[in-house]
């Protein structure tokens, strides 16, 4: 999260573009960024009475499992739902898979040594970073030092210090 935020702050246009998209699709009165659920399927729900869902009759007692991924990427709700706005991954690195299939970028390792939490990490990172960008104006006075410290993990050599101000109503 620190590295992602540092990179965004060094590219001043990127968070602004993300905020514009969040404002257009989410608004400033809600707090759930699109396509950023912790998992594609929530826990099952039971129909407590006979009902219709999308024109289908669902009798009382039927277990329902929502496909949140499909809901959050439905083209009727989101224009170009699968378009990712980061220019790097639309051009020169458009075929890179961070799940260990392409060795140009393997942040989670590969093969048997791959991080078992990769799916959770990718979803939580998107949700957390999206929520942060949506709710706060993040201000840094000067370029962020991207120097790395020596260690088992990829730590920043100097702490990230930024000023944040609320950009959505307090109740959100």
Binding residue ranges for heme: 115
Strand extents, DSSP E, 30-156: 45-46, 51-53, 56-58, 63-64, 136-139
Nearest Cα residue to 12 out of 128, 139, 135: 139
Cα gap 16→85, rounded to integer Å: 12
Q: Which two tokens stand for residue 12?
A: 């001043």
| Selection from 33, 49, 23 nearest residue 123 by Cα | 33
Report yes or no: 76 and 68 within 8 Å, Cβ to Cβ.
Answer: no
d(CA 131, CA 73): 18
Please report the beta strands in the chain, taking only residues with DSSP state E, as ranges in sequence order.
45-46, 51-53, 56-58, 63-64, 136-139, 163-166
Residues in the annotated binding site:
115
């Amino acid at each position: 999260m620190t590295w992602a935020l540092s990179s965004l702050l060094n590219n001043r246009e990127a968070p602004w573009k993300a905020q514009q998209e969040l404002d257009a699709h989410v608004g400033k009165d809600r707090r759930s960024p699109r396509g950023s659920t912790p998992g594609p399927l929530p826990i099952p729900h039971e129909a407590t009475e006979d009902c219709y869902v999308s024109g289908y009759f669902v009798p009382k007692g039927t277990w329902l499992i929502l496909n949140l991924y499909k809901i959050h990427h439905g083209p009727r709700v989101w224009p170009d739902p699968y378009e990712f706005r980061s220019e790097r991954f639309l051009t020169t690195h458009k075929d890179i898979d961070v799940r260990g299939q392409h060795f140009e970028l393997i942040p989670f390792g590969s093969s048997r040594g791959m991080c078992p939490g990769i799916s959770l990490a990718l979803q939580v990172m998107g949700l957390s970073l999206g929520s942060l960008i949506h709710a706060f104006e993040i201000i840094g006075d000067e370029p962020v030092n991207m120097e790395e410290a020596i260690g088992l993990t990829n730590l920043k050599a100097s702490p990230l210090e930024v000023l944040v101000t609320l950009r959505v109503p307090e109740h959100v």
